[in-house]
Structure 1
Amino acid sequence: MRAFLNDRQLDIYEYPESSLNCNPYVAVSYVWKGNPLVADHSSPSYWIKELGTFSIEGAEDGDPISLDVLCHVCSAALSCQYSGSHLWLDRLCIVQTPKKDKAWQIRQMYEIYKRCKICCVLPGGIQRLVSLDEDTAWIERAWTPQEVIAPHRSIVIFLANEDRIQQLEPVMERLMISSCITEIFPGLSAYSELRPLLKLSLGSSDFPIDVFGRNRAPIAALYGATILQISHSYVEKEIKKQMIWRCALMRTSPRPVDMVFSIMGLLSVDLDPGQFEKHDRLKATIALTSKTLSYIGAKASWLTAAYQLEPCLQISSFPLLPETSVGGKAIYPNVE
């Protein structure tokens, strides 16, 4: 990362597939297609491209990668007293074309995020930073829970000037949230620890925080899961599992089966993605629950995850499974 910041040199390293502990690294959590660029120069969301962007073969349907955004990510990570030198970004680190490699990477995803030193969240995507009052689809993306629950630490990077940060301080004080915002590039960007920012978005009405969307249910579920990130008692572990199921039921993906793969690591289950097609969400859900219940003393923690919804016609112990969408919203038929 220092080589990129100092010399604008982007080096890509390849390691043996059996080694995930090669060097300390930072991982990135973002949406495949994020918030579009803003053309209005007077807008606080206007993004200046100084270093340009590039795309990856096999991932042309996603946003281009902004080198400027990578600068903010690297600078934020290094300001967190991060002692490593590597950045893991799935768009670059997963070969996008071979199905075999992608299937292997999906099985490793939990370990990849668990072993990272910091997860840097880019709610608006990899093309530009967004401000805290911009609505994004990050909170409803399938892989969100795993990417921020598995790591020991997660930070959110966003556009912010000094005045905006100062306006937030009394709101945080009223909600009994310790100061959690640190500037990256003065007058342009900042980062915050994830958990207090989730709490702030749930409790702030006079100063709305929309960066996690305006639907509070998935925010509350993710906040609850992060509170129990390091669970010790049996009761805490069961509540955490319920929160994980709730998170998954409120999220979406262009590949419905990813709704299962995205939480299997959090539930200590390993499924072979090669055995399922992209629309096999029901089949994969049955396989996941079967393995979950095979453990001694295991309980069906999903039963009350979304009790207010109609039961699924195929597996009635589950609520109605939402339709997935590329736009990042979970759609429930006949539910207003």
Structure 2
Amino acid sequence: MRKTTPSAALGIEVHDHKERWIKERKSPPLNTPSGRLAAVGLALTPSPGQCEAEKQIKQTIDGVFWWVKIDVHHLEPSWGVYDYKTTSNLEYAHTPASLAEDFQRIIYVENLLMYKEVSPAQVGDVLSRWIYLPTYLKRPKAHPVDWVEKASITHDRYVDVVHPIALEVENASREPEDHPRHLDACDEFGGCEFREICHSNLSTKEKRRAIFAPSHKEKIVMASALMEKIKARAAANGDGVIETTANEKPPADVPPTPSSPSVDSPEDPAKDDPPKRRGRPPGSKNKPKSGEQPPEQQVLPGIEHDVGPEPEMDSPPLPERETVIDLLDAEFQTARLVMAQTIVKLASRPDLTVSDIRDLAGALTDLRLF
């Protein structure tokens, strides 16, 4: 079943308030968070009677079926399209230059042109205004981003860039199973509403792969550092997990991995100790580890782990790839504990700012998805 996140529900409420104001002149309730957000956004849109809200357009353009729903638009005295965006981080807001190339903006303008059956030359300039509404401010404040260009230029962008991609999608299979999974963005922007559906039948290996998605530079940096650490430890232990040539020598010192920008990891008292061998010798499964300190860990948020019982030592040896995965499991589980301890420690500080609280909230989300 589709699960709506709190952030998505807030955005829906804001859109509902905006629609009622434009269609019915019903003011948004200022005693609710969504009403206050809608009110500051409405100050940047045309008055009721001068625009339309939630206009649905269904049509086929050059073999591509479009079904768009434009937040707000007007055609007089000039053309304009508006879109409301609730956000917990303005870092992801468009700049005017990036808005110019935004697919959603281009699709809105192109569909309006076709729907009104007018040529781009007849329209002239079109205003595109994306209204960002930060959800973390005590006093709501809108952050508008504007882009104005001739309709003919937007039409060219559609023909050159958007339409070829849309045509490929239109002709693709309608069966989800026929397409590769893309798990790297499931938890971005508050989390996808369909995440639980997509992740319900994932294998443990697929969940692990999500953390190494190539579209996230930060995750690649952390994952690369972790893999180098594992290779160095395996080579130093001589356990054959990572093969080395005769000319290669295990590094004397393993460089520390970079710490998270929002959560400081506690210092590791054993970071200068030589690397220790992973695994337990035969017959020591139930014996406690005495005096062993956890190595310095790198927090890698975004995946879940199904940790089963430790296999018996007399079981058949695992292939090389699975042995590396076992090392990853140990690294991730220890990192999860370190992250939880750090969050608790930081949350008890009396001098927390709004930015600190927001960072901790994000860290808690990462920990939940770990």
Give the number of the structure whose alpha-carbon radius of gyration is greater. Answer: 2
Which TM-score tier does this pair reach, normalised by the shorter chain? under 0.3
Higher helix share: 2
The answer to which structure, 1 or 2, has the higher relative contact order (CA under 8 A, 6+ apart) is 1
TM-score (norm 1): 0.21
